[in-house]
Amino acid sequence: MYRSVHGWTVRRTDRYSQGVDSGTGRRAELLKQAVDYLATHGIADLSLAPMGEALGTSKRMLLYYFGTRENLITEAIAASRPDVAELFRSVHDEESLAAAAHALWHAITRGRQQRPIHILFQVLALAPTQPERYLTVAREAITAMVDPLVPVYRKLGYAEPDAAARASLLISGLRGLCLDRIVTGDEERIEIAARALIATAVAPPA
């Protein structure tokens, strides 16, 4: 089950959420703090004991609210990625599609997802070498951003499989450019590339 927390989309853990509203109170605040912590300290060597201490709580309470280390990471990823469905909800033509794409680019490079998206990059980097731990959550993170965009393209007249291909081009392309921007710091080159990518991704169907 998914719900909004501080403008982010968060998956609720039913077993460990009984009596705890994941949209309010301590659990929501801990999730927000966990996103900040993971964006700064990474997930590869994550230990709940020092994390709990840094967040002003304990490993026991983190397990109470989130169940497992893996589920905490999963929820942090869900909370840290842009809400693509919401960003593209009002798209009705190529112009509004381009505007939504630029809004997404702004969100992951200058907006509220600028730091949290680092968590997603970490998971995607770890998935090939630690598939038993990270491959499933990495796949879910990708599809959660691409899939909501496919019906938007269909609505604008893109046939299958072009609709899915365009959605993948836009989402995965911008994500890759965002990582390039973080690593190289070459903002001018990346901004030009992002504009070119968006123009290609929103071009009318053939």
Q: Is 188 exposed, middle or buried (0-12, 13-18, 19+ CB in 10 A)?
A: exposed
User: Tens digit of pLDDT per residue, the chain (206 long)?
Assistant: 434 333 333 443 333 333 334 445 888 899 999 999 998 898 888 899 999 999 999 999 999 999 998 889 888 888 888 889 999 999 999 999 999 999 999 999 998 888 888 989 999 999 999 999 899 989 999 999 999 999 999 999 999 899 999 999 999 999 999 999 999 999 999 999 999 999 999 999 87
User: What are the start-end ranges of the E strands in the chain?
Assistant: 2-5, 8-11
In angstroms, the Cα distances linking 55 to 6, 65, 137, 182 are: 18, 13, 24, 26
Q: Checking DSSP bridges between strand 8-11 and strand 2-5, what pairing results, if any?
A: antiparallel
The SS3 assignment for 92 reads: coil
Angle of the 69-80 helix axis to the 59-66 helix axis, nearest 10: 70
Cα(63)–Cα(58) distance, integer angstroms: 9
Nearest alpha-carbon partner for 160 in 95, 168, 96 = 168
Indicate yes or no: pTM above 0.75: yes
Q: Taking the domains of the chain in order of start, what are their residue ranges?
A: 2-80, 84-201
Query: CA-based diameter of the chain, in Å?
Result: 57
Residue type, 79: A
Beta bridge partners of 191: none
